[in-house]
Amino acid sequence: MFIVATLAILVTMALTLARLYMGPSLYDRTLAVNAFGTKTVLLIGVLGFLFERPDFLDIALVYALINFIGTIAILKFWRYRALGDAVQAPPGSDAESDRSATGRR
Amino acid sequence: MDILLDILSWAFLLAGGAFLLIGGLGLIRLPDFYSRMHAAGIIDTLGADLILMGMIFQAGFSLVTVKLLLIGAFIFITSPTSTHAVANAALVAGLEPKLSTDDTESTPAAVESQDVTGLSALPDVQKQEGASSES
């Protein structure tokens, strides 16, 4: 029965890769990467059951966390062109308050 | 009892696989970014949780079930968050939703003057906000 689920996941991964290749905008591709990561988690878990090695679930757990962080990192990099604090503004200046307002949104 | 668990597991895994295929097809076929997010939502919530539930019925009461529940909880929390982040980033960047009036003969000015949902005015406001915050 896990073979059926594996085949379904693999076919859906192929469809997601097609969207990843076609996607007109960056956000389509980000969405496809996010869905692909979720299906990778499922595939690792199902393969662990298929090969009767449940230790694969640890890898799936780690991958579920990394997938989320990766999506947020892609979006943040595309918005600010930097992953850390790119602009070091002095405290109390206009840029500082504007940056805190941006962070609140 | 084993047969009952097997039948339940089959049903959950088949339903999850079907929802995954539906979501993948929607990701290919739907016309717009904001409508493609519905397909991605189907994959992330219903497909993933149904397949995890099918695996839980095969695992029984053990540490494997705890790990599966943890994976389900993480996906259940992080997937709507990341989908919301992608949608917010696209809206801030000014990606217009495709309205139903786009298919007819109406000009863009007519679409703007109708403004049924008020969505077409939203990206401009947020763009100005972002521009002022970057200056």
Q: Show Cβ contacts of residue A99 under 8 Å, excluding neighbours closer than 6 positions.
A: A87, A89, B133
User: How many domains does chain A divide into?
Assistant: 1
The predicted structure's pLDDT at residue B125: 46
Q: What are phi and psi of B120, to 5 degrees?
A: -75, -20
Q: What are phi and psi of A93, to 5 degrees?
A: -80, 180
Lowest mean pLDDT, pick from A30-44, A78-92, B91-105: A78-92
- Which A residues in the span 61-90 are in contact with B, Cβ-Cβ below 8 Å? 61, 64-65, 67-68, 71-72, 75, 78-79
Average pLDDT over residues A62-79: 89
Q: CB burial class (10 A; 0-12, 13-18, 19+) of residue B52?
A: buried
Other Cβ atoms closer than 10 A to B30: 16
Q: Show Cβ contacts of residue A35 under 8 Å, excluding neighbours closer than 6 positions.
A: A16, B23, B27, B40, B43, B44
Residue B77 and residue B33 share a domain = yes
Q: CB burial class (10 A; 0-12, 13-18, 19+) of residue B34?
A: middle
List chain B residues with CB under 8 Å of A78: 89
- The whole-angstrom distance between B121's CA and the closest CA on chain A is 18
The predicted structure's pLDDT at residue B17: 92
- Which domain range does residue A77 map to? 2-104
Single-letter amino acid code for the residue at A34: N
What share of chain A in percent tops pLDDT 90?
43
Single-letter amino acid code for the residue at A9: I
Is the pLDDT at A53 greater than 60? The verdict is: yes
Encode pLDDT of B30-50 as tens digits.
888 899 998 888 888 889 999
Residue B117 and residue B84 share a domain = no
Is the pLDDT at B89 greater than 70? The verdict is: yes
Whole-number Å distance between alpha carbons of B36 and B31: 7
- Which domain range does residue B24 map to? 2-95
Residue B57 and residue B33 share a domain = yes
- The whole-angstrom distance between B98's CA and the closest CA on chain A is 14
Residue B118 and residue B67 share a domain = no
Enclosing H/E stretch for A72: helix A56-80
User: How many domains does chain B divide into?
Assistant: 2
Mean pLDDT is highest, among A76-80, A98-102, B127-131, for: A76-80
- Name the pLDDT band for A89 (thresholds 50, 70, 90): low
Q: Which of B24, B85, B129 sits opposite A75 (nearest CB)?
A: B85
- The whole-angstrom distance between B99's CA and the closest CA on chain A is 17
Q: Is the pTM here over 0.90, yes or no?
A: no
Higher pLDDT, B59 or B103: B59
- For residue A61, how far is the Cα from the chain centroid? 14
Is the pLDDT at B101 greater than 80? The verdict is: no
Average pLDDT over residues B112-126: 49
Residue B102 and residue B90 share a domain = no
- Nearest C-alpha neighbor of B130 from the set A44, A102, A77, A83: A102
Relative orientation angle of helices A2-22 and B2-29, to the nearest 10 degrees: 10
User: Does the beta carbon of B70 lie under 8 angstroms from any beta carbon of chain A?
Assistant: yes
